[in-house]
Amino acid sequence: MEILSLLKEKVQTGINDLYGAEADEKQIQFQQTRKEFEGDFTLVVFPFLSISKKNPVQTANDIGTYISANVSEVESFNVVKGFLNLKFTNSFWIGFLNRIAAKTNYGIKNEGESGKTVMVEYSSPNTNKPLHLGHVRNNLLGYSVAELLKANGHKVFKVNLINDRGIHICKSMLAWQKWGNGETPESTGKKGDKLVGDYYVKFDQEYKKEIAEFIAQGLKIEEAKDKAPLILEAREMLRKWEAGDREVVELWKTMNNWVYAGFDVTYATMGVDFDKIYHESETYKLGKAIVLDGLEKGILIQKEDGSVWADLTEDGLDQKILLRADGTSVYMTQDIGTAHQRFSEFKLDNHLYVVGNEQNYHFQVLKLVLKKLGYSWADHMQHLSYGMVELPEGKMKSREGTVVDADDLIAEMIKTAKETSQELGKLDGYSDEEIVNISKMVGLGALKYFILKVDPKKTMMFNPKESIDFNGNTGPFLQYTHARIKSIIRKASDAGIEVVSEINQNILLDKKEQDLVKQIANYPSAIEEAGNNYSPAVIANYIYELAKEYNQFYHDHHIMNEVNKDVQNFRLFISSKVAAIIKSSTKLLGMEVPERM
């Protein structure tokens, strides 16, 4: 808000005039006044006590008196301990609404306006299984963070690195070779990613049988795992793939294409997209070349078996393998290559990796290894570490086939949304096509909001039934609030009352109306905070508070039956602005809101 900039400037001038000293702008902290106190914005005065040489109350009174005399928008002030509460005039709030009336994208900055370029990498699936609930949180979080960074004026590239090579891919390929009998997505009617995932599970089942047999013969578990014929065959397949064996490479291409087709369907349903897709198979060789160059320069070390390592013991970490003894690469190798490729291709101010917190150590090592190899841009790499998604039944395991499939989850959410909406009578009178569209909108909105309202750093418990509730802190509550406002505006239009472009400056707002205007005024700062902290939860919390504030306002105030036309115009105007912000802010979470419901 422009007023906060003005207030900060006046506080700086006031400190100088009152005490003959300079105040650092960082010391001037305003926050919204808590509801139990009178006021709109609160200044924390403790940072100025060393300058004023007075107690907090005296200092707050000095500054409050100065601000009141020099800022016409401030109507009054009060002091609570070390906090100065400022109350703005009624005309200030009306003027604020009139200033934003014509702003169709209020609170949103133009992409590229900041001059910063950020790359957000998310999804990063393996081509040996379909996307599951954990991937859903990753995709929704990555997409939303990218949208928030755009809204803060940054140029953003959304990218996906598909892990399409490695031992885990070979496990699915080998199992299909042994037990697939030529099955294809077409012959089975299965999505390609699900078919390949079934063989990943099949490999694990058969592998465990072999391990059990070796243990029965007296081998220790680790030795049994290492000697099982299936794992030896999978390792040989990986070696052949890296050597370019034609038969293995052709099978790899075929099965990966099945998976890609399946992924595309899921991404489209989920409503996420990417500006560019990278493949590990195309970057690992660059990583190997960088590692070998580091070895030649003496930055890395080679052990007797020929494997290459980064020695990080002097940095308080351990040694990290970068190339195996047989010359094959590991995840770290390809991440080195991918990072180099991206910073060469784009002039990035920041590269954000959206990856679960189980990979914290990996990214700590990646950054350190790159810095040791001489790449200063490694300082611009950041890991957005998020918590896992858990279910009431416990953790998921892909190998054992105990994951919640993303497609199945989305279908169930849409089905539940339809049933719940019908039970509440919210789909009465709608055509079959409209029912399908609204059910999808509500089901996906419920899923997205439930996941994104939780701080990314926290592990979360996902409960589908709780997420679809038209009351409380849920996506459907926000969607219904938007539809309700749109219904009010349509009724007004049918009665010949249109939303005005300017409000009468002389109308008096009561406290509930002022609270709603203040919540609208907070939108730009909520976007800024959410972007700075890479936290869609900040926006989710903001929208909920706005919708809750509006519903309380609507409960207490007439609109259609209001006899004072200026007041009616104001209430219709503010309703329209709330609907626009709900639509704008939910879009930052990847959600859609219905016009009717």
Long-range contacts formed by 299-306: CB under 8 A, 24+ apart: 299/372, 299/373, 299/374
Clarify whether residues 462 and 579 are in a common domain.
yes
* pLDDT at position 453: 97
- Tell whether 183 is covered by a domain: yes
- Tell whether 31 is covered by a domain: yes
Q: What are 407-435's pLDDT values in tens digits? A: 999 999 999 999 999 988 888 888 999 99
CATH classification of the domain holding 557: 1.10.730.10
Q: How many separate domains does the chain show? A: 3
* pLDDT at position 329: 83
State whether residue 60 is helix, strand or coil: helix
Q: CB–CB of 87/518 below 8 Å?
A: no
Clarify whether residues 159 and 254 are in a common domain.
yes
- Please say if the pLDDT value at position 181 is more than 90: yes
Clarify whether residues 380 and 423 are in a common domain.
no
Q: What is the mean pLDDT of residues 91-107?
A: 93
- Tell whether 328 is covered by a domain: yes
Q: How far apart are CA 271 and CA 133, in angstroms?
A: 15
Q: Which residues of 28-54 are buried (b: 16+ CB within 10 A; e: fewer)?
A: bebeebeeeeebbbbbbbebbeebbeb
Clarify whether residues 32 and 167 are in a common domain.
no
Closest to 391 measured CA to CA, from 133, 588, 85: 133
Closest to 134 measured CA to CA, from 361, 451, 362, 415: 451
Clarify whether residues 450 and 381 are in a common domain.
no
Helical (H) or strand (E) element with 585: helix 565-588
Q: What are 268-294's pLDDT values in tens digits? A: 999 999 999 999 888 888 999 999 999
Clarify whether residues 171 and 239 are in a common domain.
yes
Q: What are 485-524's pLDDT values in tens digits? A: 999 999 999 999 999 999 999 999 999 999 999 999 999 9
CATH classification of the domain holding 59: 3.30.1360.70
Q: What is the mean pLDDT of residues 293-306?
A: 96
Clarify whether residues 347 and 448 are in a common domain.
no
Closest to 518 measured CA to CA, from 35, 169, 37, 22: 35
Q: How far apart are CA 184 and CA 191, in angstroms?
A: 9
Q: Are strands 308-311 and 381-386 parallel, antiparallel or unpaired?
A: unpaired
Here the tokens at position 19 are 């005490």
- Tell whether 163 is covered by a domain: yes
Diameter of the chain measured on Cα atoms: 91
Q: What is the mean pLDDT of residues 467-473?
A: 85
Q: How far apart are CA 169 and CA 171, in angstroms?
A: 5
Helix axes 523-532, 565-588, angle to 10 degrees: 10
Percent of the chain with pLDDT over 70: 98
CATH classification of the domain holding 205: 3.40.50.620
CB contact set of 479 (below 8 Å; sequence gap of 6+):
441, 442, 445, 586, 591, 593, 594, 597
Q: What are 548-558's pLDDT values in tens digits? A: 999 999 999 99
- Please say if the pLDDT value at position 398 is more than 70: no
| Alpha carbon 500 to its chain's center | 36
pLDDT band at 2 (very low <50, low <70, confident <90, very high): low
* pLDDT at position 283: 85
Where in the sequence is the domain holding 441, given as residue range(s)?
416-588
Query: In this predicted structure, which of 20-24, 150-154, 268-272 has the lowest mean pLDDT?
Result: 20-24
Clarify whether residues 140 and 185 are in a common domain.
yes
- End-to-end CA distance of the chain, in Å? 34
DSSP state of 431: -
Q: How far apart are CA 592 and CA 126, in angstroms?
A: 29
Amino acid sitting at position 56: P
* pLDDT at position 292: 96
Closest to 61 measured CA to CA, from 39, 44, 84: 84
Q: What is the mean pLDDT of residues 537-560?
A: 96
- Tell whether 316 is covered by a domain: yes
Q: What is the mean pLDDT of the chain?
A: 93
pLDDT band at 17 (very low <50, low <70, confident <90, very high): very high
Clarify whether residues 218 and 333 are in a common domain.
yes
